[in-house]
Amino acid sequence: MLSSSCVAMLARLLLLALSFSIALQALPALSDELDERIGPLVERVTRLSERHVDVSRVVGELDRAVKLWDSGDRGEALRVVESVEVEVSRLEGEAGFIELSYRVKLYATVAALLATPILFYTLLPRLYLALWFRLRRGWVVRVASRR
């Protein structure tokens, strides 16, 4: 049989587990309002990031909003979320130009890398000869006398 101390210990563990489960169930209910606003924002920011838009500042602001919400400053957290929504809308408007400039830079880099060996193959011998002639143009060639 179990001793009374073991029963008391099991009762305390059961009570502790029950209190943790109740606390964990209450947490999602408290943050549903923030989740409804941040969830779509995170999806929009992810799409912007896939289009090569720099969203690091927006992600930092969203993180700040979540921390403010967790600390109990719900009004400030909602204000931060609203400012992030405005910023994301602005970035979505600029995303086409940003993506185009990214692709132009990418293609220009690839073209330069592909052209480098061809340019060296064609221009390096010519540059070498021009330099060689320039360095030796003051030389005088004398014909050796025949004996």
Structure confidence at residue 34 (pLDDT) = 77
**Residue 77 and residue 31 in contact, taking contact as beta carbons nearer than 8 Å:** no
Two tokens at 52? 């090569």
User: Full-prediction pTM beyond 0.75?
Assistant: no
Q: What residue segments make up the domains of the chain, in order of their start?
A: 33-132
Helix extents (H) in 4-140: 4-30, 32-50, 56-71, 74-135
At residue 30 the predicted structure's pLDDT band, cuts being 50, 70 and 90, is: very low
SS3 54: coil
Structure confidence at residue 52 (pLDDT) = 87
At residue 147 the predicted structure's pLDDT band, cuts being 50, 70 and 90, is: low
User: What is the pLDDT averaged over residues 82-111?
Assistant: 93
